[in-house]
Amino acid sequence: MPRTAGNHQNLGEGHGTNFPSETSEGTNLSNTLILDFWTPEVRLSQRPTPEELEQRNILQPKNEADHQAEKREITRQLTRKLSQRPTVAELLARKILRFNEYVEVTDAHDYERQADKPWAKLTPADKTSIRKELNEFKSSEMELHEESKHFTH
């Protein structure tokens, strides 16, 4: 049962929350709160204006000149960072880059590089046998806590 505009008067009374515990008809809202939370209750005429949203820094002002100036500043900063990068000679001198004079080239065979997924192809019988083998291994090779013995087969 959706709430109506008349139910907004009893919000937060004595509970420290913003949700009422009962509607004006006396029915419990615990089952309807989730549904009510997703339905917009504020009418379009009662919603804040764009100017109010700008004052609260929720909506950015639409000033094209400022927006373009911000873009130019970001472009300038990024260009400056790229132009100030060290050259290859500087990196070699600081021993950051090292090149070998000899390069070894070998043939590589073409093969499927995606991993197989054998677990996706298992039949129920395979799964049962693997589970049985694992349980046998655990029972013979691993210590079993006394309180957990009843979980094993």
Interval 116-142: pLDDT, tens: 888 788 899 999 999 999 988 887 888
Q: How confident is the model at residue 111 (pLDDT cuts 50, 70, 90)?
A: confident
Q: With CA atoms as reference, report the closest residue to 30 among 17, 18, 15, 19.
A: 19
In the chain the first and final C-alpha atoms are separated, in Å, by: 51
Contact between 7 and 15 under an 8 Å Cβ cutoff? The reply is no
Report percent pLDDT > 70 for the chain: 71
Q: How confident is the model at residue 33 (pLDDT cuts 50, 70, 90)?
A: very low
Question: String of b and e for 106-121 (b: at least 16 CB within 10 Å)?
Answer: eeeeeeeeeeeeeeee
Give the mean pLDDT of 98-108: 89
Beta bridge partners, 22, equal 28
Contact between 152 and 144 under an 8 Å Cβ cutoff? The reply is yes
Residue 100 has pLDDT above 60, yes or no: yes
- pLDDT at position 124, please? 92
Which residue has better confidence, 22 or 102? Answer: 102
Report domain extents, the chain.
Answer: 5-47, 62-93
Tokens at 56, concatenated: 């609260």
Q: What is the pTM of this model?
A: 0.24
